[in-house]
Amino acid sequence: MATFVLIHGAYQGGWIWSPVAKRLRDAGHQVYAPSLDGCAERSAQVRPGITTETHAEELVELMRYEDLDDVVLVGTSSGGMVLCRVAEIARERVQRLVFADALALYSGENIRDIVSGAAIDADEVATGPAPGAMYEGLSASMEPGLARWAADRFGLHPAAVFNQPVVLDSFWDQSWNVSVTWCRQAPNPGEPHQRRCAERLGARWHELDTGHYPMLSTASELTELILEG
């Protein structure tokens, strides 16, 4: 049995991992898929000061309080940024890293340096997709009912995650057991960014012919890659 911590991306929550989490649990694994501070069902808590680093710190505390060791961290989209910081802080608890169409910024880089597109600034505290913008993109890679279910759940994300550069003191200088999965139909974060991550870390490389949300559109295939490593 392995222990997985699944880290969602921007505008999402732990809900987005439900199809993958079920498959992993059905295979006998321990799975945590929390919604990060200020996101999804925790959106009422959104406030200034929530950053990539504070998101990472709460996951480190989750692992400490739950006594989790030999953890496989899985991050998607901006959750890849959180994954890097969690791994750096809690190296002794981490067994393996999985980037699933994920951002992996160098220290000092800003998410807006890498990603362009659909987000709008709601205010100085939270940002999110334009109303009604998610369904069209989702339906391009998944059946309409699932796309509607997911589109209804996307919401705001703490703005500082987009506006502040990430802080990584030693992540890129360490050796990790890593895999990177690129989704061919997703314009962001894009192949060059994910190739950079894979080459810098000596990661195993996988590809899925789907959009940016493989945990929904190709849940079985992504689960197999997560288990495979």
pTM above 0.85, yes or no: yes
Return d(Cα 67, Cα 110) in angstroms, integer: 32
Do residues 134 and 151 touch, judged by C-beta distance below 8 A? yes
Q: How far is CA 51 from CA 33, 37, 95, 167, in A?
A: 19, 9, 25, 10
**How confident is the model at residue 130, as a pLDDT?**
80
**How confident is the model at residue 1, as a pLDDT?**
93
**Amino acid in position 166:** V
pLDDT in tens, 127-158: 998 878 899 889 999 999 999 999 999 999 99
Residue with tokens 């608890």: 93
The CATH code for residues 3-228 is 3.40.50.1820
DSSP lists the bridge partners of residue 75 as 7, 99
**How confident is the model at residue 123, as a pLDDT?**
85
Mean pLDDT of 42-55: 97
pLDDT at residue 125 is higher than 90: yes
pLDDT in tens, 67-92: 999 999 999 999 999 999 999 999 99
Mapping DSSP onto H, E and C, the string for 20-43 reads HHHHHHHCCCEEECCCCCCCHHHH
Residue with tokens 């919401």: 155
Secondary structure of residue 207 in the 3-state scheme: strand
pLDDT at residue 119 is higher than 70: no
DSSP, res 94: E
What is the DSSP pairing of strand 94-102 with strand 3-7?
A: unpaired
pLDDT at residue 121 is higher than 70: no
pLDDT in tens, 146-191: 999 999 999 999 999 998 999 999 999 999 999 999 999 999 999 9
Reply yes or no on whether 220 is catalytic.
no
Domain spans of the chain, in order of start: 3-228
- How many C-beta neighbours within 10 Å does residue 204 have? 15
Closest CA to 153 of 35, 11, 9, 10: 11
What is the DSSP pairing of strand 126-129 with strand 119-121?
A: antiparallel
**How confident is the model at residue 117, as a pLDDT?**
67
Check 77, 78, 141, 179 and give the catalytic one: 77
Spell out the residues 6+ positions from residue 58 whose beta carbon is closer than 8 angstroms to its own: 34, 36, 37
